[in-house]
Amino acid sequence: MKQSKKKLSILTIDYGMGGTERFISLLLPELKNHFEVTLVIFYKYIDYDIPEDVNLLILKPETKKSKSYLFKIKNFVSLYLKYKRFIKNEGIDISFSLLPIPNIINSFIHMGLKNVRTVISERCYPSVMYKDKHMQLKLAKLFFPIFYNRNDALFSNSVHINEDLKVNFGVKIPMQVIYNPITTDDTIKINSSSFKKTKHLKLINAGTMYSVKNQKLILDAMSLLQIGDFDFTILGDGELAETLRLQSKNLGLNTNFHQLGKVNDIKAHLIQHDCFILSSDTEGFPNVLLEALSVGLPVISTNCLSGPLEMLNDNESVTIKDGEFIKAKYGILVNVNDALGMSKAIQYYLEHPKERLKYSDLAFKRAKMYNMPKIYNQMKDILTNS
C-alpha cells in the first residue's frame, strides 16, 4: 500500500525577488516529491514560479501598511489566527517558517497544536542587522528567547548566525546549518575566451537596492578608477534605485552605470559580465554570490557577516588592512564599506586576466559543493526529524 505524504506548510512574508524567496523556489520542486506542500505567504508579491503540485495560500490578499504599533499588533493577530485555522482545517503535519515574524507565528502554532512539528529558519545575522535599529534589537532580544525556543528545531545558513542566536539571543533549541542550494551546469558557464587581456571590465551586482546592500560602495570604488575602464550593472530594484542613479550622475559615471530592474534568468545576465561584486554590510548566506560562483564568474565580496567568508575561504578568518584586499581561496575579499580596497581589487582583476581565469575555475568548483541533492537531504531530515 502506497504511504501517503506528510502535509508540509511553508510560511513566509511573500514570494518576491529576495534571497529567502529564492531559497524556497529552489527547494519547492524537490519538496513536492516527498510532501504535500502548501506555500503560505502573508502578502501577494509573487516573482518566482510555483510548481504545479504546490498549493498556494495568501493570508492577506489586499495589503494595507501602517507604521503604527497598534496596526502591526492587529495585523499579527489576524495573520496568526488565519494561519492557525488553516493548519487545523488541513491537518498539517509540519509547519516550516522563515524570517522573524513568521517564526514567531510558528511558535504560537507549536504552543497551541502539539501534534504539529514546527521548524524555523533565521536568514540574517541579527546582531548586525539590528545594530542601528535599537527598538528592533530590543524586541529581538526579548522575543527570540521566549518564542524561538518553543519550536522543535531551527536552522540558519551560517555558523555565525547560529552562534549569534545562541550567545546574544538566548536560543537553546536544536540548531543546524543548512546552506543555500545551487545547481551547476557546464553549459551555463562564463566563456573562458572572455579572459583575454582587456582594457574594459564589466562588473555586475544583483539584489534589492537598500542601505544594507550598500551598492553605493561600488560606485564610490569606481570613482577612484579610470572611468572608461569599467561598466557596472545592477539587477533588481529597491528604495535606493533613484539615489544610486543620482550618485552615478554626480560621480560622472552615469554612462557606465546600468539598472536593469528585476530579471527572470539571473544566470543569463551573469555570464555576460567579467566580475561579480557583493558590497553588503551584512548578509545571511548570499544567494547572488553563490549564483555568481555557479557560472564561474570571478567575485569580489565584502567580508561581511555572514556568508562570504564561509563561501570564499572555508570560513577561515582573515585580516585585511584598510584600503587593501586579500586573495581568498575562491575569490577576493575586502573590508566592509572600504571603497579604496574595493577599487584596488577591481583594478587587480582588470590587470590580471590569468587571475580572473583561475578564480573562474575555482568559483565553479566551489559552487558544486552546494549542489541540490546534499542540501535537500539535510532539509528533509530536519523537517521529518530523521
| Distance separating alpha carbons of residues 145 and 155, to the nearest angstrom | 15
> Nearest 5°: CA angle at 74, between 102 and 148?
30
CATH number of the domain residue 201 falls in: 3.40.50.2000
By residue range, what is the domain housing residue 36? Answer: 6-181+371-384
As a three-state string, the secondary structure of the chain is CCCCCEEEEEEECCECCCHHHHHHHHHHHHHCCCEEEEEEEEECCECCCCCCCCEEEEEECCCCCCCCHHHHHHHHHHHHHHHHHHHHHHCCCEEEEECHHHHHHHHHHHHHCCCCEEEEEECCCHHHHCCCCHHHHHHHHHHHHHHHHHCCEEEECCHHHHHHHHHHCCCCCCEEECCCCECCCCCCCCCHHHHCCCCCEEEEEECCCCHHHCCHHHHHHHCCCCHHHEEEEEEECCCCHHHHHHHHHHCCCHHHEEEEECCCCHHHHHCCCCEEEECCCCCCCCHHHHHHHHCCCCEEEECCCCCHHHHHHCCCCCCCCCCCEEECCCCEEECCCCHHHHHHHHHHHHHCHHHHHHHHHHHHHHHHHHEHHHHHHHHHHHHHCC
Q: Are 166 and 244 in a shared domain?
A: no
Q: Are 177 and 292 in a shared domain?
A: no
> Looking at residue 249, what is its pLDDT?
94
Burial classification of residue 223, based on how many CB atoms lie within 10 Å of its CB (0-12 exposed, 13-18 middle, 19 or more buried): middle
Q: Are 205 and 174 in a shared domain?
A: no
Q: Is residue 1 part of a domain?
A: no
User: How many domains does the structure of the chain reveal?
Assistant: 2
Q: Are 89 and 111 in a shared domain?
A: yes
pLDDT digits (tens, 9 = 90+) for 322-374: 999 999 999 999 999 999 999 999 999 999 999 999 999 999 999 999 999 99
Q: Are 74 and 199 in a shared domain?
A: no
Residues of the chain with pLDDT under 70: 1-3, 64-66, 194, 196-197
Cell representation of residue 25 = 523556489
Q: Is residue 353 part of a domain?
A: yes
Q: Are 51 and 114 in a shared domain?
A: yes
> Looking at residue 306, what is its pLDDT?
84
Q: Are 172 and 287 in a shared domain?
A: no
Q: Are 19 and 146 in a shared domain?
A: yes
Task: Note whether 157 and 123 are within 8 A (CB).
Answer: yes
Of the candidates 274, 249, 289, which has an alpha carbon nearest to the alpha carbon of residue 345? 274
> Looking at residue 197, what is its pLDDT?
65
Q: Are 72 and 158 in a shared domain?
A: yes
Q: Is residue 23 part of a domain?
A: yes
